[in-house]
Amino acid sequence: MSIAVSVGRPAAVPVVLPARFERVPVMAAVALLPWLGVLAVCHETPWVVLDLLEFAALLSLDAALRRRSAAARWAGGAVALLLAGDALADIACAGPGHAVLAALVMAFCVELPLAAVCLLLGRAAGGR
């Protein structure tokens, strides 16, 4: 079973996500746990708080998707907003050289694609 999302005008071709993508939020939340531990050990309190918010939003999106709730649209938007903000903050706070390169790679290869998937999942669930 696939998930179809209409993007743009009503006559636009819908974006189709495979049904297995519904597991992405919970898998991302679980993958975030070790990083939260590293940040906590390093006493990076602001980043721990931001990542805990992302963790909670990812689990909320997963719960809303499982219930087929219209609230999934809001949860997907919240996750996307938090991830995009995290990517922007990482890039803005990175030092010169390799640090900014690592932040850019993380943003464009992990955080922003995950934000897009969560946004599409929420939109598809809200349209059902």
For 56, the token pair is 């909670």
Radius of gyration of the chain (CA): 16
The reported pLDDT for the residue numbered 18 is: 80
The reported pLDDT for the residue numbered 37 is: 94
Three-state SS at 2: strand
pTM of the model: 0.84
**Other C-beta atoms lying within 10 Å of the C-beta of residue 48:** 18
Give the C-alpha separation, 74 to 93, whole Å: 28
Residue type, 120: L
CA distances from 81 to 29, 51, 126 (A): 15, 13, 17
The reported pLDDT for the residue numbered 89 is: 95
**Predicted confidence (pLDDT) per residue in 50-69, tens digit:** 999 999 999 999 999 999 99
Phi and psi torsions of 81, nearest 5°: -65, -45
Spell out, as residue ranges, where the chain has pLDDT lower than 70.
1-14, 126-128
